[in-house]
Structure 1
């Protein structure tokens, strides 16, 4: 089986942090550039991971402010 795309792996990593309680509702996620540095990925990878998590209702984006863990 081929490896998962990097954005799928990043989305899964953040999803696990939310589900485990490491990231709580209302917590602000690091910026795109910070996530790129932390995980060694491109901004496209971060963008696709965030789009996936937003579609799942796990995070919400506030334009010009940041991305936050959604309230349950």
Structure 2
């Protein structure tokens, strides 16, 4: 079985941080440059991972500000 693409591995990592509470709703994700450096990947890999997480409704991008954990996470119980 082929290894998972790097963008999928990064998305899994961030997804895990959200699930564990390390990244809480409203928290800002590290910048693209920081994620590239921390994980040894290219900008394209980071963008693909963020795109996948946005598609799942886990993160939201704010133009010129950054990417944040969604306030209302999918499958989260209503409060």
Same fold (TM over 0.5): yes
1:1-60: per-residue Cα shift (whole Å, max 9, x none)? Answer: 010000000000000000110100000000000100010000000000000000000000
SS in 2 for 1:60: strand
Find the structure with the greater CA-based Rg: 2
Higher relative contact order (CA 8 A, sep 6+): 1
Structure 1 stretches lacking a partner, 5+ long: none
RMSD: 0.4
Aligned residue pairs, count: 72
Q: TM-score w.r.t. structure 1 length?
A: 0.98
TM-score normalised over the length of structure 2: 0.90
CA positional deviation for 1:71 = 1.1
Runs of 4+ in structure 1 deviating by more than 6 angstroms, as ranges, are none
